[in-house]
């Protein structure tokens, strides 16, 4: 008997690591992708919106793209393309999209889809949480229909924009605060774990050589080579940190992740702006499952499965 797929919406600001995360989600065989909802973030919305359409067409996804928020909830934030290239997809140039956007805005589309899924819909949120905050604010009963949110953002340790704050939450901390106070169950893939997940350039090279002339192998290699967020991994190898893929890893293989429960408070004061502050002293207040580590062999297997899946398109 075939395992029932998990209905998900991917909320994203594509973004090189977003693109790779979506490739992994599409190829996992475990997710029923109901839609993509782009948001302003890694680059401005006039890049992230068409990038989402381009990726849907390139990856042959059968799902709508619903436009999200063009600015942050309260305080507009300038974004930088330094890690992702001028348009967000590094040096990868995908054809202009021909598919139209969905008629509804992201927050209404998510709400309607969640209702249609009978409370089983999960949101994989790999950008700033503006769209999800608008969902909560405009549809107060959304918590009754969204099963959980798996988000890449924040950190229980250090940040990357300030000593405290990670980029996705720093861009729109007001939105993150709304979401973490919404009552919807949350799984957090923060910098505390994503920085442990460097995928080595050696592995990517071997993966792409195995795939030969596939356009998907070419795109993956260009995504990684043009993405500047690199660190040495656990084995001391030069590696690319595909932050957003950690959230997808949990969605498709939670047994490969180590977690702990805590309460996350989103700070919006000037000194700690965008900080996701964890406390562990009151279990009755816990609102978040935090990913603290993952099995890198199982994580690499997702990349192997991904390339095999997309290579099958040419067979």
Write the pLDDT tens digit of every residue in 181-199: 999 999 999 999 999 999 9
The two tokens of residue 10 are 């991917």
Percent of the chain with pLDDT over 90: 79
Of 76-90, 149-163, 220-234, 271-285, least confident by mean pLDDT is 76-90
Lowest mean pLDDT among 129-133, 154-158, 209-213, 278-282: 209-213
Question: Model confidence over 52-66: pLDDT tens digits?
Answer: 999 999 999 999 999
For residue 97, the 8-state DSSP code is P
**Structure pTM?**
0.96
State pLDDT tens for residues 285-313: 999 999 999 999 999 999 999 999 998 87
102-123 mean pLDDT: 98
Catalytic residue set: 243
The rounded distance, in Å, linking the Cα atoms of 260 and 288 is 8
Domains, the chain, with CATH or none: 6-314 (3.90.245.10)
């Amino acid at each position: 008997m075939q395992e029932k797929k998990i209905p998900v919406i991917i909320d994203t600001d594509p973004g090189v690591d977003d693109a790779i995360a979506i490739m992994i989600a599409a190829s996992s065989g475990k997710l029923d992708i109901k839609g993509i909802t782009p948001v302003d973030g890694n680059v401005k919305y006039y890049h992230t919106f068409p990038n989402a359409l381009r990726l849907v067409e390139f990856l042959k996804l059968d799902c709508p793209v619903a436009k999200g928020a063009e600015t942050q909830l309260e305080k507009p934030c300038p974004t930088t393309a330094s890690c992702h290239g001028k348009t967000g997809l590094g040096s990868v140039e995908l054809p202009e999209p021909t598919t139209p956007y969905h008629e509804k805005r992201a927050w209404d589309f998510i709400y309607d889809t969640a209702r249609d899924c009978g409370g089983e819909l999960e949101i994989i949120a790999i950008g700033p949480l503006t769209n999800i905050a608008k969902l909560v604010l405009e549809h107060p009963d959304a918590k009754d229909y969204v099963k959980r949110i798996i988000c890449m953002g924040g950190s229980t340790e250090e940040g990357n924009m300030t000593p405290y704050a990670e980029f996705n939450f720093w861009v729109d901390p007001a939105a993150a605060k709304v979401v973490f106070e919404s009552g919807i169950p949350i799984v957090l893939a923060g910098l505390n774990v994503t920085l442990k997940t460097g995928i080595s350039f050696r592995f990517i090279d071997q993966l792409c050589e195995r795939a030969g002339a596939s356009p998907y192998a070419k795109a993956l290699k260009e995504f990684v080579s043009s993405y500047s967020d690199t660190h040495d991994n656990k084995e001391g190898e030069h590696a690319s940190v595909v932050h957003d893929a950690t959230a997808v890893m949990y969605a498709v293989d939670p047994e490969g992740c180590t977690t702990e429960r805590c309460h996350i408070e989103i700070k919006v004061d000037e000194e700690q702006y965008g900080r996701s502050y964890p406390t562990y002293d009151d279990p009755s207040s816990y609102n978040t499952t935090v990913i603290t580590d993952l099995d890198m062999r199982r994580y690499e297997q997702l990349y192997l499965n991904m390339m095999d899946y997309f290579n099958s398109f040419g067979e």
